[in-house]
A and B are shown apart, each in its own frame.
Chain A
């Protein structure tokens, strides 16, 4: 509860404590790894957005904001950004709505059911997201897709329904693929909760429903924030699902980055888009955390 570093120490004092108390040394390998394989490549990529590249040769003498300004003035960019944003948000909200009951049931279930829920949650992570995306194509696909085949077989529809290559299929695929990342933080927070609070709530005359919404849900905000931020970040930047389940004409910001860098080989544009995608993602995650902290202001003691 008592902070080790007081505000009076300032940034310098904090650094000195971290370095000279030996706290920093165990994380040095991780820091080196992150700098070499994460921070440096990203910096180089971002730098590509501010220089011109001619036939694969970087001309470092021509630093300018031209690529950035032209992108920001492009209405198509905002169109793709908006799609990334709302698709990410909607699938994250679905993940929360589907994941919370699972996590809650987990905490109420017996040991056997808990293992089952945990295995069911984690095992999809053992297969590649790409494979799972293809699986959705098989399920949702045209006349031969599993769903349409069944509907046609039983004459429930006369023509196959167009599930694939729509907002629906993209959101469905994203929600399913990202669901574990919502369930796991929620399980962590809900499992650690103090059950005596629920008993007291009942004792004071509240119904179970009232107890859930008045006590359990507000106290699980840390898990909701963690899961929401995590799932939003990976949904917002996912390019496989929109590309495969959205089809050729369905483009989001993340798909654009992929297209420009891998297909069109316009690294300037790709770098600018990547920069905008990642920084905006960062801002959104900070925003989610801010809202979460506001909702948990009772913890600030």
Chain B
């Protein structure tokens, strides 16, 4: 069902945790709230689940206003970071808990539990206790427990944190497939940009209680609207410059046309830069201070003469073989049209 969050505000004491948060999630869409810890994303999720009540604003699920509804009257699925499986109940009883509470007859309950366990691939484990399961299995039980009630929406709170790196990626892909198969509207909370890029239809980036930008992953990565978004999702080299006659001068011979006026910030992704081992008069000159092999690419840090912040550049592994720490290099833009220019007023 469609979720419509409108102008949500929440204060804890002197702290504004949520400031005018508005977000519409379409039916069947998977939206991730991404942001650093303390940005309010978990509070927003708790407002959806009913554990916190907003000071003002409304939350609609479908046509129903659930802003003030108690948590047990919402039918909103929830998967916690810790999974919060009931340790004294078997897998089957954990999954069937919501049905038992609703007094669903035993026979029907059994069938639904079997069906849901099959959906997450855990049929054989129904008699185990949570402590006898691996992290991935526990997560699936938590997911099954939420999905069995056919909730209107599904909420995931840092649901992949407890898994090790490799399993995390595969569970993320699996989750996305499952959620799409079920067709449920899903809102995830995470501080992990890879997770957000992996699972989301759209990402909402939050900082200091505000939603900075909402868009699909390529949109957010390629067209960040604030410095914060540019730096939080992916790596960004930022340049504060003044616009002169419709162009921004980055370095000698590197000029970018723009429609903005006054102070702007130019965002250059590491892969937008190219590196050459010989000194040229166009672009930056600097010394390689750090290299890091990331598999298919090498990430470099180059300390530029006459500039405080080092540039971060990424090159394909095969092209970077002659570059090592201490080497003098030239850096320039691959294509000036790819750069993003953020006008200063966007600095919130």
B284 CB-CB contact with A under 8 Å:
no
Produce 1/0 per residue, B61-81, CB < 8 A to A: 000000000111111111010
Tell me how many residues of A have a C-beta within 8 Å of chain B: 22
Q: Does B97 contact A (CB under 8 A)?
A: yes
Q: Give bound CA distance, A194 to B89, whole Å.
A: 15
B102 and A194 within 8 A (CB): no
Query: Known: A194-B84, A204-B145. Is A199-B101 also a contact (CB below 8 A)?
Result: no
Would you call B88 and A202 a contact (CB within 8 A)? no
Question: Is A204 a contact partner of B84 (Cβ separation < 8 A)?
Answer: no
Interface residues on B, range: 20 to 34
A1 → chain B closest CB, angstroms: 8
What residues of A have a CB within 8 angstroms of the CB of B72 in the complex? 202-208
Q: Which residues of chain A in 194-238 are interfacial with respect to chain B, using CB atoms and an 8 Å cutoff?
A: 194, 196-197, 199-208, 210, 214-215, 218-219
Q: With A and B bound together, what is the CA distance between A296 and B49 in angstroms?
A: 31
Alpha-carbon distance A195/B77, docked complex (angstroms): 17
B98 contacts A204, CB within 8 Å? yes
Residue of A nearest to B72 (CB): A202
Indicate whether A199 sits within 8 Å of B51 (C-beta atoms), given known contacts A204-B145, A205-B75: yes
**When the two chains form the complex, which single residue of B73, B80, B132, B149 contacts A196, counting CB atoms closer than 8 Å?**
B80
Contact, CB under 8 Å: B86 / A301: no
Which of B82, B101, B149 meets A194, CB within 8 Å?
B82
- Scan residues 171-205 of chain A and give those whose CB is less than 8 A from a CB of chain B: 194, 196-197, 199-205
Q: What distance in Å separates the Cβ of A43 from its nearest Cβ neighbour in chain B? A: 42
B80–A200 CB distance below 8 A: yes
A113 to chain B, nearest CB (A): 20
Residues of A within 8 Å of B162, CB to CB, are none
| CB proximity of A191 to chain B, nearest CB, Å | 17
Q: Is B254 an interface residue, CB under 8 A from the partner?
A: no
A299 touches B131 (CB 8 A): yes
A298 part of interface (Cβ distance < 8 Å)? yes
Whether B87 contacts A205 by the Cβ 8 Å rule is: no
A196 touches B86 (CB 8 A): no
Instruction: List residues of chain B with CB within 8 A of the CB of A296.
Output: 88
> How far is the CB of A62 from the nearest CB of chain B, in Å?
55
The verdict on A197 contacting B98 (CB below 8 Å), with A202-B71, A301-B129 known, is no
**Contact in complex: B84, A301 (CB < 8 Å):** no
- The interface centre, meaning the residue of A194, A204, A296, A299 with most chain B CB atoms within 10 A of its CB, is A204
Q: Which residue of A lies closest to B100 (CB)?
A: A214
17 contacts between A and B (CB under 8 A): A199-B51, A199-B84, A200-B80, A200-B84, A202-B70, A202-B72, A203-B49, A203-B72, A203-B77, A203-B78, A204-B145, A204-B146, A206-B101, A219-B87, A219-B88, A296-B88, A301-B131
Instruction: Give the 9 A-B CB pairs with smallest separation, nearest first.
Output: A204-B98, A196-B84, A301-B131, A202-B71, A206-B101, A202-B72, A200-B84, A298-B88, A203-B78
